[in-house]
Amino acid sequence: MLRRRPAPPQPAAPRPPGPPRVDFSYTIYWTKQVRAWDAGRRADVSAALEHVVAQPDFEANTYARRYTVPGLDGQAHAGLSLLALRKVLAAFVTTDSTTHES
């Protein structure tokens, strides 16, 4: 009796690309920027940023550059970009406070 060889495994079908990771990209960008700032600049930008984000018409849009933050860089930014900046600034505040407690 002849035995058949098992068929070689078929390669998995490629996965379709997922949704763009815009928030991740913005977070990486702002981390690189904020890393170079001193604590005073981070605090100033954070305070100015809160005024922009607190506006009643603020929208976490992906790409449309609608918002400027006084003292940041003189450029307009997308709402999602500013929310990423806010997240990064909060992380640096946490890091700064735990570093000084040691």
pLDDT of 98? 59
Q: Specify whether the backbone of 74 is left (phi greater than 0), alpha (psi in -120 to 50) or beta.
A: left
Under the banding of pLDDT at 50, 70 and 90, the label for residue 93 is confident
pLDDT of 17? 63
Distance CA 21, CA 26 (A): 9
Residue type, 92: F
What distance, in Å, lies between the first and last C-alpha atoms of the chain? 76
Q: Degrees (nearest 5) of the Cα angle 40, 23, 62?
A: 105
Mean pLDDT taken over the chain = 88
Q: Is the pTM of this model over 0.95?
A: no
Task: Encode pLDDT of 24-73 as tens digits.
Answer: 999 999 999 999 999 999 999 999 999 999 999 999 999 999 999 999 99
